[in-house]
Homo-oligomer: A and B are copies of this chain.
Amino acid sequence: MVPPPVIQTYPLSSYSFKEKETKIGKDSSVEDRLARMKLNYMQEGMRISVEGILLIQEHNFPHVLLFEIEDTFYKLPGGKLKPGEPEIEGLRRKLSSKLAATSPSLHPDWQIGECVGMWWQPSFEDVMYPYCPTHITKPKECKKLFVVHMPERGNFAVPKNVNLLAVPLFELHSNRQKYGTIASAIPLQLSRFKFNYNNPQNILP
């Protein structure tokens, strides 16, 4: 038998979540975002973005950490790489900016794991595909999703104006209407992994 890759999970209560200062989004509408993408594309070429899937357990079942933005939009932590920036380094930078206390000395040593999916945006429209569509030679964005292996314990800090939710895989599965194309596909992209649930009684103090 080929053993499946393993993701260790720990209870949500193993982590502390503090508030940090409000982060103002760069765009106030989808149109603004697409206009900014267009400008960036002309200057830098295809946008490469990286996002992290951070998993915790509740009731011996995996939950994904998702930002909820204005009660309507769900997003993994991550963002755009700088031109030439390595993926793993860029994802670490983005995770610290979105999920860690401001002082660099408090930034976790993020353990970036397997890439589980790539999404392609063929044009300046808000639609992504899990493949680069045929006849598209110049896609506008490639988004890569990575598993982030969680430590046994940790301290996070989340901007005041966003909610961080732990959403179970069964809630995301086939729920594109609510969670969007990318988050609703996470259960399918994680289905090759085995989850190892570490319950409090098994964790040494």
Listed in ascending order, the chain A residues whose CB lies under 8 Å from chain B are 1-2, 4, 59-62, 86-88, 114-119, 129-131, 133-134, 168-170, 173, 185, 187-192
A193–B191 Cα gap in the complex (Å)?
Answer: 16
Known: A87-B1, A88-B2, A169-B131. A191 touches B119 (CB 8 A): yes
A59 to B136, CA, bound (A): 12
* Total identical chains: 2
Q: How near does chain B come to A86, taking the closest CB pair, in angstroms?
A: 6
Contact yes or no, A191 B189, CB < 8 A: yes
Interchain CB contact under 8 A, A129 and B173 = yes
- Are A188 and B134 neighbours in the complex by a CB distance under 8 Å? no
User: What CA separation (Å) do A75 and B130 show in the bound complex?
Assistant: 21
> Contact between A192 and B87 (Cβ–Cβ < 8 Å)?
no
B170 near A129 with CB under 8 A, answer yes
A187 CA / B130 CA spacing, docked (Å): 6
CB distance from A129 to the nearest CB of B (A): 7
Residues on B with beta carbons closer than 8 Å to the beta carbon of A173: 129-131
Given the interface pairs A62-B131, A131-B169, A173-B130, the reply to whether A117 lies near B188 with Cβ below 8 Å is yes
Question: Which 8 A/B pairs are nearest by Cβ-Cβ distance?
Answer: A130-B191, A117-B191, A188-B188, A61-B134, A130-B187, A185-B188, A130-B188, A115-B192
